[in-house]
Amino acid sequence: MIKLEDNEKIIKVFRKHWLPISLELMSLFLVAIIPIILFSFLRNTLFFDLSLRNAYFLFLLYTLFLIFIWILSAIIWLDFYLDMWVLTDKRLIDVEQKGLFSRDISSLRLDRIQDIKIETHGLVNTLLKIGDVHVQTASAQKEFLIRQINKPDLVKSSINTAHNLEMEKAKIVRLEN
Amino acid sequence: MKYNISMSEINKNLSLNSLIDLIEPSHASLVFIIFAIIAILISIAILFHFNKYRHHSLGTIFAELIYLAGIVFLFGLAFIFLVLFSK
């Protein structure tokens, strides 16, 4: 997956909160049961007066529809699982999965970090401790955004600690020289 | 000009039964095969991603097994319905 530098160690891996993906999967489940609800409403009409053989055809169509929903759920889960932020002792790495065949990986050296800001909007996000973490940098990229993360304050403190350690190391190296 | 067609007659002419009767079992099989090929290709891509990041946790392997069990079960079910429809 991500190539680490020599002596680089992973401190933590952050992922999005489970709530957004749960809502997406829940809505897919609702879409999956819509045909059953429709069928139960319409089965008594003459239009739906089906022979057994033709009922099997409708079941076949519904099963193919369920396969489609199942695959879509797996893609949504993969997108959630492969979207992550990896904090190492040298860098903060952002891995963004876009669908099945596209992925963006960007990294930021900890010594380039200038400021870290947390944003939490809304009642649900406040209660469940979901928020965005903005990492301001000295590089051309300017900002590194970690969206809908679980416990953004902990993420911020982890990045701060790693940043401070990296800066301490840099000071020691300078003093030794 | 008067039209003497009752609602039930319209329903009979438009019945789902008569529409499905128009479908040849061989055509249904062909659609099933095309769908299965596409689904298998996408599943291979999904499993490739699962395996690529396997070292993350045991949960990944568990999720992979759930996905495989689900897709095999659904394809099995679809195949049974196809056979019953084609009889």
pLDDT value at residue A104: 84
B4 to chain A nearest CA, in Å? 19
Question: How far is residue B66's CA from residue B1's CA, in Å, rounded to a whole number?
Answer: 63
Determine the residue among A21, A29, A51, A63 to mutate to test chain B binding: the one whose Cβ has the most chain B Cβ atoms within 10 Å.
A63
Across the interface, which of A71, A77, A81 has its CB nearest the CB of B39?
A71
Of residues A44, A134, A39, A138, the one with CA closest to residue A94: A134
- What residues contact A145, with CB distance under 8 A and at least 6 apart? A132, A133, A134, A135
Measured between CA atoms, the residue of chain A closest to residue B86 is A53
Residue A41 contacts B where some CB pair is shorter than 8 Å: no
Query: Mean pLDDT over residues A58-62, rounded?
Result: 92
Q: Give residue-wise pLDDT tens across range A125-163.
A: 899 889 999 988 876 666 788 888 888 999 999 999 988
Record: contact A70-B45, CB cut-off 8 A? no
Q: What is the mean pLDDT of each run of 10 residues along chain B (87 residues)?
A: 55 71 89 94 86 64 88 95 91
Record: contact A1-B21, CB cut-off 8 A? no
Quote the ipTM score. Answer: 0.80
Q: Give residue-wise pLDDT tens across range A18-46.
A: 888 999 999 999 999 999 988 888 777 65
Record: contact B39-A48, CB cut-off 8 A? no
pTM greater than the 0.90 cutoff = no
pLDDT value at residue A169: 80
Record: contact B15-A49, CB cut-off 8 A? yes
Question: How far is residue B87's CA from residue B54's CA, in Å, rounded to a whole number?
Answer: 43
- Please identify among residues 36-75 of chain B the ones whose CB lies closer than 8 Å to any CB of chain A: 39, 42-43, 45-46, 49-50, 52-53, 56, 60, 63, 67, 70-71, 74-75
Across the interface, which of B23, B39, B70 has its CB nearest the CB of A57?
B23
Of residues A35, A43, A26, the one with CA closest to residue A65: A35
Q: Is the pLDDT of residue A67 over 70?
A: yes
For residue B17, the chain A residues in CB contact (below 8 A) are 49-51, 54
Record: contact A57-B85, CB cut-off 8 A? yes
Which residues does residue A17 pair with via DSSP β-bridges, in sequence order? none
Q: Is the pLDDT of residue A66 over 90?
A: yes
A67 to chain B nearest CA, in Å? 6
Q: Which residue has the higher pLDDT, A156 or A99?
A: A156
Query: Mean pLDDT over residues A42-71, rounded?
Result: 85
pLDDT value at residue B23: 87
